[in-house]
Structure 1
Amino acid sequence: MYNTVVIGAGQAGLAMGYYLKQLKQPFVILDKAREVGEEWKKRYDSLVLFTPRMYNSLPGLRMKGDSQGFPAKDEIVNYLKTYADTFHLPIQMHTEVRRVRKENDYFSIETNREEFKASNVVIATGPFQKPRIPEFAKSLSPDIVQLHSSQYKSPDDLQAGNVLVVGGGNSGAQIAVELSKEGETYLSVSRKMKFLPLEIGNKSIFWWFDKLGILKASRYSWVGQKLHKKGDPIFGYELKEALQKGKVILKERALHGEENKILFEDVSSLYVQNIIWATGFIPNYSWLDIKGVLDHQGKPIQVRGKTPIKGLFFLGLPWQYRRGSALLQGVGDDAQHLLKQIQKREF
């Protein structure tokens, strides 16, 4: 019997583990992956974070290197492994959670290996769960190479011919810029993109956000509500320059497709050989067998990670409390808050 079982050994689960060690109660972190940092390792080879190292550290361990510099994905993988080792976190890999039930005052967590019982459960599986791909993708020709951004690694994954990147977030922007150096590249977006510089006066724009209090603005504040509604801008000007030079050709929202042709909102069309779906993710909690935790869209019902079910918590959700709640820069604050909620249950 554990005091707490944490599901997920990504940045959220590791941060929770750091604080749970202070409680001096038995806990374990479960993850289906083979090693810590595996999800980061799977992401595209050229991935570089647009937040500097000074805002990518988990509680208790500063990321090494130039604090204003931008870490690549392999650096994040190594940092997470070092973090788990430094604090001797009790992580059990190769353990896939298949069902979570509430039984009286404790939870039953069924896995591919054994069953765990705990007074508290923290679901820290992160925002990258089930790829969101439009339904019409199934009707496209099998001759098209289709990859979700979570499957894409490098231009070598694609066949000869043009490529359409669908999705105007920062991942889509980075991938489109990379592919534009290889050949004919199109980018389909559903809204007008806003660009912000990575640096102002030799300081990261996030340094300025921090000084202005934007990073700490909660989702319930006026500033937080504005930021949440607008969505993230594109950080850096690489895509903007590629668009201006015609290396990336902008298309409106992709509405439908037939065979090798994609149809767009402005009634234009394009024959494509490759598609990268940088369209984000949808939640998948099919293994969570507890009523009253998810809404009609399958999203957690929670207030800063606390659910209506006593002892059940979420961590690492986008905008769980502030913009950085799902990121390295903000997950530690939410983990510390959940520790206080767990401590309250002890008395």
Structure 2
Amino acid sequence: MTGILDVVVIGAGSAGLGVSYFLKRQGRDHRVLERNRIGETWRTQRWDSFLLNSPNIRSLLPGDAFDGPDPWGASTQHQFVSYLESYAERHRLPVITDAPVEELSIDNGFFLVATPHDVFRAYNVVIASGSQNCPKRPPWSAELPPTIRQLDSSAYRNAADLEQGAVLVVGSGQSGGQIAEDLTLAGRSVFLATSRAGRLVRRYRGGDIFNWMTLSGFLDLPRQAFLLPSGKLPPRGLLGATHTISLQSLSAQGVVLLGRFMGVEDGSLVFGDELDEHIRFADESSADVKRFIDGYIERAGLNAPPAEDDPAEMIAPRLPNPPIRSLELATCGIASVIWCTGFKGDFRWIKILAAIDGGGQPIHQDGIGLVPGLYFSGLDFASTRKSGIIVGVAEEAERLAGHLAKRMQAIT
């Protein structure tokens, strides 16, 4: 048992390091506990050809300025991990690696954070382990025969690691579209079970789309503005790291597009009839973002070049005719299924009832927990569209650190 710390930060990814930066500026006595190595999720949940979707100049943590040769280029996950390690070292952040948190509890008004080697006691805890570390699969994944290898997007590395045969990618959001392209470029036969996911072009009106979305305020839209009618959050739209990827462009490369994967029935994989609607929705979502940016350019009086058609959006889709509604397992040749169906956070180690809801997910308002002194940083879509991605780290970290500072003034 150590002395009483001001704060324990759990997780040394971009969110945790960002919070630590502001805590250090406040002079807070704190520690950052990392289950393994700095940036562990970036090291272990990305495929070999993965590139960041945010350009280098928009992939910085608080206090840093870009001084590299390629501001609009895309970093690999290995380059970004090296950046995180450098960031922690340059700013002398108090990171403790190989310190997985086994239990978080409260005792006599203080938080107790237990690791295999120590128990830390603190006035406040910032949980920055994210909400993208526990893959979700539909229940019918259990109905697939054991002869078909199943893996989640976080476990996919490259086409050569898969068994010979065709691959079914389930989900056409950001990971699904990128992995489908990676597989087909490697010469694999690919089926893509699509979903109702948006799409973004890589460049628009002379600039990077991610930069336009940052400048225009598109990423600042509050969570309530884009919640689905069901109350669920939408998937991140399909965005290629260096070029536009669309369902149409994937089909032109040979990817066989299907409707939503519905399960297994009488020895066949069954798919819905929503493919046309999914293509249309992606087209419309791309157009919506462009209109938002157009409005910003006009209001700001910017001298941006006119819009140009993106070839990946203009190419005609090559769709199965007739549409494929089922594939017989015995004859379709599918040997692997890659689930790109989303993630949730794993918070089973939090032993504070008021901190977690019935689904095991954090109870919070804009990252501020219901339990006083408990904070959550890096949750996907926690308060705005940029919550949970690198470009949102600085703003969120400064806000949470500011709230924490006011709490410390009140209790000490």
Task: Quickly name the TM-score band, shorter chain normalised.
Answer: over 0.9
Contact 2:5/2:30, CA 8 A, preserved across alignment: yes
Is 1:316 the counterpart of 2:395? The answer is no
Alignment correspondent of 1:71 = 75
- Return the alpha-carbon distance in structure 2 between the equivalents of residues 225 and 3 of structure 1: 35
Q: CA deviation at 1:296?
A: 2.1
Is 1:252 the counterpart of 2:259? The answer is yes
- Return the alpha-carbon distance in structure 2 between the equivalents of residues 9 and 26 of structure 1: 16
- Return the alpha-carbon distance in structure 2 between the equivalents of residues 343 and 270 of structure 1: 60
Alignment correspondent of 2:269 = 262
Is 1:189 the counterpart of 2:251? The answer is no
Pairing partner for 2:99 from 74, 89, 95: 95
Cα gap change, 1:144 to 1:230, in 2 (>3 Å): closer
Give the CA RMSD over aligned residues. 2.2
Q: What SS class does the counterpart of residue 287 from structure 1 fall into?
A: coil
Pairing partner for 1:41 from 30, 36, 43: 43
Q: CA deviation at 1:239?
A: 4.1
Contact 1:68/1:203, CA 8 A, preserved across alignment: no
Q: What SS class does the counterpart of residue 243 from structure 1 fall into?
A: helix
- Return the alpha-carbon distance in structure 1 between the equivalents of residues 92 and 234 of structure 2: 40
- Return the alpha-carbon distance in structure 2 between the equivalents of residues 247 and 153 of structure 1: 21
Alignment correspondent of 2:205 = 201
Q: CA deviation at 1:25?
A: 2.3
Cα gap change, 1:219 to 1:249, in 2 (>3 Å): same
Pairing partner for 1:122 from 122, 126, 141: 126
Amino acid at match of 2:189: E
- Return the alpha-carbon distance in structure 2 between the equivalents of residues 245 and 67 of structure 1: 31
After superposition, where does 1:1-347 map in structure 2 within 5 Å? Answer: 1-33=4-36, 35-42=37-44, 43-63=46-66, 64-181=68-185, 182-191=187-196, 193-220=197-224, 222=225, 231-236=235-240, 237-245=244-252, 247-257=254-264, 261-266=268-273, 267-271=325-329, 272-347=334-409
5+ residue gaps, structure 1:
none
- Return the alpha-carbon distance in structure 2 between the equivalents of residues 160 and 175 of structure 1: 17
Bigger radius of gyration? 2
- Return the alpha-carbon distance in structure 2 between the equivalents of residues 207 and 283 of structure 1: 28
Q: CA deviation at 1:302?
A: 0.8
CA shift digits 1:68-112 (9 cap, x unpaired): 222222221111111111111111111111111111221111111
Q: CA deviation at 1:233?
A: 2.6
CA shift digits 1:171-200 (9 cap, x unpaired): 111100011122210111232x44321011
Contact 2:131/2:346, CA 8 A, preserved across alignment: no
Q: CA deviation at 1:28?
A: 0.4
Contact 1:166/1:276, CA 8 A, preserved across alignment: yes
- Return the alpha-carbon distance in structure 1 between the equivalents of residues 235 and 136 of structure 2: 17
Cα gap change, 1:260 to 1:284, in 2 (>3 Å): farther
Q: CA deviation at 1:212?
A: 2.0
- Return the alpha-carbon distance in structure 2 between the equivalents of residues 128 and 53 of structure 1: 22
Q: CA deviation at 1:305?
A: 1.1
Cα gap change, 1:229 to 1:139, in 2 (>3 Å): closer
- Return the alpha-carbon distance in structure 2 between the equivalents of residues 259 and 142 of structure 1: 16
Q: What SS class does the counterpart of residue 300 from structure 1 fall into?
A: coil
Question: Which segment drifts farther, 207-216 or 234-243?
Answer: 234-243
Q: CA deviation at 1:319?
A: 1.3
Using structure 1 for the length normalisation, give the TM-score.
0.92
Q: CA deviation at 1:257?
A: 2.7
- Return the alpha-carbon distance in structure 2 between the equivalents of residues 186 and 161 of structure 1: 11
Cα gap change, 1:259 to 1:58, in 2 (>3 Å): farther
* Runs of 4 or more consecutive aligned structure 1 residues displaced over 6 Å after TM superposition: none
Contact 1:10/1:36, CA 8 A, preserved across alignment: yes
Contact 1:141/1:259, CA 8 A, preserved across alignment: no
Q: What SS class does the counterpart of residue 160 from structure 2 fall into?
A: helix
Question: Which segment drifts farther, 325-334 or 62-71?
Answer: 62-71
Amino acid at match of 1:264: F
Amino acid at match of 1:184: S
Identity of aligned residues (%): 33
Question: Which segment drifts farther, 130-139 or 261-270?
Answer: 261-270
5+ residue gaps, structure 2:
274-324
Cα gap change, 1:121 to 1:56, in 2 (>3 Å): same
Contact 1:3/1:27, CA 8 A, preserved across alignment: yes
Cα gap change, 1:134 to 1:119, in 2 (>3 Å): same
- Return the alpha-carbon distance in structure 1 between the equivalents of residues 234 and 111 of structure 2: 38
Cα gap change, 1:70 to 1:148, in 2 (>3 Å): same
Q: Which has the higher helix share?
A: 2
Amino acid at match of 1:189: T
Q: CA deviation at 1:231?
A: 4.6
